[in-house]
């Protein structure tokens, strides 16, 4: 293996999504620490902070690949940033390791997807919600590809199941004026709310729904839950009132009682005793960096083609469970967990499924709609 392999880390640790980026960067640093603790000395991390400027992600990827010699980049959080970076990664024959939940309908030879796609979060979420709360949801989303695509899929799933979408509204990224949307929800009285807002918009919306529930018990979480597919532990402190009782569907929660997670948290406590709850961002970023290093070592070099072939060739132990990456789509099979926000700014696990093979284009998932959703009168 060459002397030292440089791996780029591309996260914004400042700005509206700074809490997510800081957690992801810490997860990357812990992965390197674990590697070095076990005697590894052939990997180095190179960090670039785009400061939440979309155009700076492209600058960062160019700097990491051209100036620092990184052939692998772990990073980006939003789909907009991922799509900004992919063409440059393709141009340099590199590999982007993407570890956030996203809207699917993408598969790229130059991307390893460690984050969940809709058949791993949205479909099992609806399987849980519809029998318990009904089939008349209200959809809110960020006015970009994540919100558009997630709500489009939600409409398709609900309509195919015989349900009705009571409303669908969007907010610009970072917009926090949610009063009109909340008033519309109060009037239409849905059976549940699918929240595809992100960052400050999501925090403001969840806080406003909590205030609505104080005035109208019909909107208490047990009666009309707000469910997200991207809300993690590290964001809960940013929500006024904490949004206790609301739901999030993810591939990892701090409180998982698995042997992998218990060992992971024990090592983390030894490294940073002050660490609080582990977020999905931290665990997924750790996993992406650890897998990248392990595959490079197994290959003996950092050639992206060889590393990709190594990654898809076998199962890899991780804090997310034993990961299998599909050789056709480059997506990892991931577990589904549904958590309810508690008063300690964490999640109580209320539902789980073992690792679900990724189906980013919903080809298999759409062939068996009856297995996923059934009509409930509400």
Q: How far apart are CA 375 and CA 373, in angstroms?
A: 7
Tell me: pLDDT of 373 over 60. no
Domains 5-115+256-334 and 121-250 in one fold:
yes
Q: How far apart are CA 342 and CA 159, in angstroms?
A: 32
Mean pLDDT, range 313-329, rounded to an integer: 97
- Which CATH class name applies to 121-250? alpha beta
Residue 196 has phi, psi (to 5 degrees) of: -110, 25
Q: Smallest Cα–Cα separation from 276: which of 232, 241, 322, 239?
A: 232
pLDDT digits (tens, 9 = 90+) for 123-170: 999 999 999 999 999 999 999 999 999 999 999 999 988 999 999 999
Neighbouring C-alpha atoms within 13 Å toward the C-beta of 124: 27
User: What is the predicted pLDDT for the residue at 275?
Assistant: 83
Tell me: pLDDT of 377 over 50. no
78: three-class secondary structure by DSSP = coil
Is CATH 3.90.1150.10 the classification given to domain 5-115+256-334?
Answer: no
Q: How far apart are CA 182 and CA 28, in angstroms?
A: 38
* Token duo for residue 142: 């960020």
The single-letter DSSP state of residue 319 is: T
Q: How far apart are CA 365 and CA 358, in angstroms?
A: 10
Burial level of 343, CB count in 10 A (0-12/13-18/19+)?
exposed
Q: Which residues contact 131 (CB under 8 A, 6 or more apart)?
A: 374, 376
pLDDT digits (tens, 9 = 90+) for 275-316: 888 999 999 999 999 999 999 999 999 999 999 999 999 999
Q: Which residues contact 56 (CB under 8 A, 6 or more apart)?
A: 50
Q: Which residues contact 160 (CB under 8 A, 6 or more apart)?
A: 369, 373
Q: How far apart are CA 107 and CA 93, in angstroms?
A: 16
pLDDT digits (tens, 9 = 90+) for 186-209: 999 999 999 999 999 999 999 999
- The whole-model pTM stands at 0.95
Whether residue 233 contacts residue 345, with contact meaning beta carbons closer than 8 Å, is answered with yes
Tell me: pLDDT of 216 over 70. yes
Separation of first and last alpha carbons in the chain: 61
The b-or-e profile of 201-215 (16+ CB within 10 A means b, else e) is bbbbbbbbbbebbee
Q: How far apart are CA 332 and CA 96, in angstroms?
A: 14
Domain ranges of the chain: 5-115+256-334, 121-250
* Token duo for residue 27: 């997860």
Q: Which residues contact 151 (CB under 8 A, 6 or more apart)?
A: 139, 141, 168, 194, 196
């Amino acid at each position: 293996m060459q002397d030292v392999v440089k791996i780029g880390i591309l996260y914004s640790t400042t700005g509206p999504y700074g809490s997510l980026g800081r957690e992801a960067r810490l997860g990357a640093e812990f992965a390197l620490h674990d590697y070095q603790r076990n005697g590894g000395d052939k990997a180095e991390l190179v960090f670039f902070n785009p400061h939440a400027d979309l155009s700076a992600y492209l600058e960062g990827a160019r700097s990491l690949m051209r100036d620092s010699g990184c052939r692998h980049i772990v990073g980006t959080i939003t789909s907009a940033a991922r799509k900004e970076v992919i063409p440059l990664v393709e141009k340099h024959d590199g590999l982007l390791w993407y570890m956030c939940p996203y809207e699917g309908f993408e598969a790229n030879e130059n991307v390893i997807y460690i984050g969940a796609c809709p058949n791993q979060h949205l479909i099992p979420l609806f399987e849980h919600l519809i029998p318990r709360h009904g089939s008349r949801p209200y959809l809110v989303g960020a006015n970009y590809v994540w919100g558009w695509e997630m709500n489009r899929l939600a409409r398709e799933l609900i309509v195919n199941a015989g349900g009705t979408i009571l409303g669908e509204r969007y907010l610009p990224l970072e917009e926090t004026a949610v009063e009109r949307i909340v008033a519309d929800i109060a009037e239409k009285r849905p059976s549940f709310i699918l929240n595809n807002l992100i960052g400050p918009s999501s925090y403001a919306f969840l806080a406003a729904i909590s205030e609505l529930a104080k005035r109208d018990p019909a909107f208490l979480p047990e009666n009309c839950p707000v469910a997200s597919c991207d809300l993690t532990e590290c964001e809960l402190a940013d929500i006024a009132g904490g949004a206790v009782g609301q739901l999030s569907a993810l591939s990892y929660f701090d409180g998982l009682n698995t042997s992998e997670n218990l060992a992971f948290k024990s090592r983390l406590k030894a490294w940073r005793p002050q660490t609080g709850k582990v977020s999905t961002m931290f665990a997924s970023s750790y996993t992406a960096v650890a897998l990248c290093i392990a595959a490079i070592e197994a290959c003996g070099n950092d050639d992206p083609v060889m590393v990709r072939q190594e990654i898809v060739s076998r199962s890899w132990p991780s804090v997310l469970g034993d990961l299998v990456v599909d050789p056709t789509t480059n997506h990892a099979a991931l577990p589904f967990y549904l958590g309810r926000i508690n008063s300690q700014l964490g999640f109580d696990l209320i539902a789980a499924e073992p690792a679900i093979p990724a189906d980013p284009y919903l080809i298999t998932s759409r062939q068996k709609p009856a297995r996923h959703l059934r009509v409930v009168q509400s």
